[in-house]
Amino acid sequence: METNVIVAAFGGNKVVRTAARWQWNYGQIIQFEGLDLPGTFTVHFSNNDEIGTAKGATGRDNTVIIPDEYFLTGQTIYAWIFLHAGVDDGETVYKIIIPINKRPKPTDEEPTPVQQSQIETAIAALNAGVEAAQEAAESVQDMGVESETLAPGSEATVEKTVDPETGAVTLEFGIPRGDTGAAGPQGPQGERGLTGPTGPQGPQGIQGEQGPKGDTGAKGDTGPAGPTGPTGATGPAGADGVGVPAGGTTGQVLSKASGTDYDTEWTTPEAGGVQDVQVNGVSVLQDGVANVPLATGSRFGAIKVPTAGGLFAEDGGIYVNSATSAHAKAGSQSFWPITPARQHESTFYGLAKAAGDTTQSSSSNTVGNYTDAAKSAISEMLSGSVSVSGTAPVITALPGIRYVCGEVTTLDITLPDSGIVDVVFTSGSTPAVLTVTPPNGMTMKWANGFDPTSLEADTVYEVNVMDGVFGVVGVWS
């Protein structure tokens, strides 16, 4: 059965947690074990571990009565043993934590006959103790020592606590005391007790806010200069600059001196005239006239336009000259247009070269004016041909070969990188579809007005290609 005595056993610790007690208890006593306490000492009580106020109570013979109000809140009770080491100092040396179990507030109850008998017996015993204490006090006075006495006719009192769960009765006895006599002389101060062991380190507190930034310290002294490095190599000489002569008055401008490339001179422009004209940052104004230089490959300026011949016309147009015999025979892809006559000349010249005749000149001989050797070589070369069957043949042409096809619906020709290719085919009642793939991504430019995408029906075509020049040699209906 739970009694009103709460044991706080210290085994070398500074802080002890006791067994829990119920809310609404009263008359509770703490009994300290394992401590060497003086006959009287002070204990402070509170329901808060850090803030608020604490109520003091006097403890005797290793026990202290807990003030009843700390059981009313239902909160944990904290107690601190406060010892006086000397007359004018004191310190908190031990801490007690008493957990409290909350419960409903009880109503007043009358004690049972058995409980009432126990109360009367306790009071009688207490009164007997009072009488014995009184006698002892009188004997002390007879010895000439002042002592506290009980007031005449006083009786002991008792307060009861009834546990509503177990029915146990807890008694708190009070002994009325007489008036306190005069205090005796103060005894000598006792020796200071040994310092107890250091308690465990408490938890780290919350980190405080960062303080203001301190002042910037003084700038340190500048260190000694390092050694001078070696002198670098001399760079290339710069271009000649534009000279600026001395003198010059208000209103004058600096212009290029006549007959020189870089020298300048001060001149006075005509009133109301242009002050300065520059081309690419260089002044070109002289005597009120802008002398714009001709453009070169590396200098900005004016472009000279010829009035006749050449590439440009006077009105800004472009002259286009027809290809010469040399251009046509060389298979030129320049901007010179190749006329039908030149196309035939180019074709037969190419045939002669393919046949091995080297007597012809690219800059002479009109169409048909070839040597007998050239004609013989061309006839011998053209006498050999390759027959291609099928109505949709695909030909990967070789240079110097004549391909003869029959009537086709589609014809696909892939040309060689160089040389002559000659293909004969018939477009039947339904016009054939011709596809020619040039070498190396070359763009085809057909001569003689031939359009390979618009073939006619019932027509025989002989298509000739030489070194990238495309044309039709013959068309027969």
| pLDDT tens column, 134-186 | 665 565 455 444 434 444 444 555 566 666 666 565 655 555 555 555 666 77
Q: Per-residue pLDDT for 399 more than 80?
A: no
Tracing tokens 């359009």 back to the chain, one arrives at 451
In-domain check, residue 304: no
CA distance 141 to 106: 47
Of 125, 143, 174, the residue that ends a domain is 174
In-domain check, residue 443: yes
CA distance 387 to 395: 11
In-domain check, residue 193: no
> In sequence order, what E strands does 13-149 have?
15-17, 21-22, 29-33, 40-46, 55-60, 63-65, 77-83, 91-98, 100-101
Q: Are 24 and 190 in contact (CB under 8 A)?
A: no
Pick 446 or 109 by higher pLDDT.
446
Q: Are 34 and 16 in contact (CB under 8 A)?
A: no
Burial per residue of 251-268, b for 16 or more beta-carbon CB atoms within 10 angstroms, e otherwise: eebbbbeeeeeeebbebe
Of 174, 194, 210, the residue that ends a domain is 174
In-domain check, residue 50: yes
Mean pLDDT along residues 390-411 = 89
CA distance 21 to 297: 110
- The tally of domains found in the chain comes to 2
In-domain check, residue 276: no
CA distance 446 to 337: 11
In which domain, by residue range, is 457 found?
325-476
Instruction: Give, in degrees to the nearest 5, the angle at Cα 333 between 331 and 335.
Output: 130
Q: Which two tokens stand for residue 411?
A: 């014809």
The pLDDT of residue 312: 54
In-domain check, residue 447: yes
CA distance 238 to 373: 67
Q: Are 423 and 462 in contact (CB under 8 A)?
A: yes
Least confident of 328-342, 399-413, 418-432: 328-342
Q: Per-residue pLDDT for 261 more than 80?
A: no
Computed over its alpha carbons, how large is the radius of gyration of the chain? 66
CA distance 134 to 150: 6
Q: Are 72 and 110 in contact (CB under 8 A)?
A: no
In-domain check, residue 390: yes
Task: Give 441-461 pLDDT, tens digit per residue.
Answer: 677 777 777 788 889 999 998
The SS3 call for residue 312 is: strand
Q: pLDDT-based confidence at 35, cuts 50/70/90?
A: very high
* Residue 343 parent element (H or E): helix 340-354
Q: Are 25 and 161 in contact (CB under 8 A)?
A: yes
What one-letter code names the amino acid at 112? T
In-domain check, residue 215: no
Instruction: Give, in degrees to the nearest 5, the angle at Cα 254 between 250 and 257.
Output: 135
Of 124, 146, 174, the residue that ends a domain is 174
The three-state DSSP-derived secondary structure of 233-296 is CCCCCCCCCCCCCCCCCCCCEEEECCCCCCCEEEECCCCCCCCCCEECCEECEECCEECCCECE
Region of 338 (left: φ > 0; alpha: ψ -120 to 50; beta: rest) is: beta
CA distance 359 to 347: 16
Mean pLDDT along residues 381-395 = 81
The pLDDT of residue 71: 93
